[in-house]
C-alpha cells in the first residue's frame, strides 16, 4: 500500500475514533467532568463563545463543577447559557464563581445514556466502514488501471481489513469502558 493511502486510512480512522471519544465525553456519567459544559455557547463581548474560551472550568469534587469567568461581567451570561442549554444542571452563582452541582443519575437515566452511547459507537463503526470502502475502491481502481497487480491488491485489502479490525476493537474497548463508567453507582 502506498504510504499516502496508508497514512490517509490511519488518519481518517484516528479522527473518527477521536470524534467518538469527544462525543462520549459529553454523555454525563454522574461524575463531574468539564467537557459537560465547556462547549456551551454563551454571549460574551457581542458574540457567542464556548465557556472554555471565557472561563476556567474546574472539578471541585466528584459531584460539583465550578466555573470561574475571567471577566466578572460574564457571570450572568454564563449562568444563563448553562440554564438554557437544558442539560439538567442548575447553576448557583456565588459572587464571581458559578457552582454546578451535578444530580445523581437514576438507573433509568443511566440506561438511556448507555443506549445513546451505543448509538454513537454504531455511528463510529459506520464511519470506519465508509473509510474502508473508499480506500478499497481506490485500490481496485488502481488495479483496474494497471497501476498494481492482483497479488498486490489482495495483500493491501488484507492490510486495510487488519487496520479496520483494530479500529473496531478500539471502538468496542472505548464502549466497554464508557458503559462501566455509566453504570457505576
Domain ranges of the chain: 3-26+106-183, 34-101
Reported residue count of the chain is: 185
What 154-163 contacts at long range (C-beta under 8 Å, 24+ apart), as own/partner pairs, is 156/1, 156/5, 159/1, 159/6, 160/1, 160/9, 160/132, 160/135, 160/136, 161/132, 163/9, 163/10, 163/13
Q: How confident is the model at residue 27 (pLDDT cuts 50, 70, 90)?
A: confident
Examine domains 3-26+106-183 and 34-101 and report if their fold is the same.
no
Whole-number pLDDT of residue 4: 66
Q: What is the mean pLDDT of residues 5-27?
A: 87
Q: What is the mean pLDDT of residues 111-117?
A: 88
Whole-number pLDDT of residue 72: 92
Whole-number pLDDT of residue 93: 92
Whole-number pLDDT of residue 176: 93
Whole-number pLDDT of residue 2: 63
pLDDT at 108 over 60: yes
Global pTM reads 0.70
Mean pLDDT, the chain, rounded, equals 88
% of the chain surpassing 90 pLDDT: 42
Per residue in 92-103, pLDDT (tens digit) is 999 999 999 887
Per residue in 163-185, pLDDT (tens digit) is 999 999 999 999 999 888 888 76
Q: Tell whether the torsion through CA atoms of 53, 59, 62 and 63 is positive or negative.
A: negative
Question: Under CATH, which architecture does the 3-26+106-183 domain have?
Answer: Orthogonal Bundle (1.10)
Q: How confident is the model at residue 3 (pLDDT cuts 50, 70, 90)?
A: low
Q: What is the mean pLDDT of residues 66-84?
A: 91
Fold classification of 34-101 (topology level):
Gyrase A; domain 2 (3.30.1360)
Whole-number pLDDT of residue 103: 79
CB 133 within 8 A of CB 115: no
CA angle at 116 for the pair 118 and 77, rounded to the nearest 5°: 140
Lookup: cell for 57: 472550568
% of the chain surpassing 70 pLDDT: 96
Q: What is the mean pLDDT of residues 153-172?
A: 92
Amino acid at each position: 500500500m502506498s504510504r499516502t493511502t496508508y497514512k490517509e486510512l490511519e488518519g481518517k480512522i484516528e479522527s473518527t475514533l477521536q470524534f467518538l471519544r469527544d462525543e462520549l465525553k459529553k454523555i454525563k456519567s454522574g461524575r463531574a467532568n468539564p467537557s459537560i459544559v465547556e462547549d456551551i455557547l454563551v454571549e460574551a463581548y457581542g458574540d457567542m463563545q464556548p465557556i472554555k474560551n471565557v472561563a476556567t472550568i474546574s472539578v471541585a469534587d466528584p459531584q460539583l463543577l465550578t466555573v470561574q469567568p475571567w471577566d466578572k461581567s460574564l457571570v450572568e451570561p454564563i449562568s444563563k447559557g448553562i440554564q438554557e442549554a437544558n442539560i439538567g444542571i442548575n447553576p448557583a452563582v456565588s459572587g464571581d464563581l458559578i457552582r454546578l452541582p451535578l444530580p445523581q443519575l437514576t438507573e433509568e437515566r443511566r440506561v438511556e445514556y448507555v443506549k445513546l452511547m451505543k448509538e454513537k459507537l454504531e455511528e463510529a463503526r459506520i464511519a470506519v466502514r465508509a473509510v474502508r470502502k473508499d480506500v478499497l475502491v481506490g485500490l481496485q481502481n488502481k488495479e483496474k488501471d494497471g497501476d498494481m497487480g492482483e497479488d498486490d491488491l489482495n495483500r493491501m485489502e488484507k492490510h486495510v481489513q487488519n487496520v479496520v479490525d483494530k479500529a473496531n476493537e478500539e471502538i468496542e474497548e472505548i464502549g466497554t469502558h464508557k458503559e462501566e463508567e455509566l453504570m457505576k453507582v
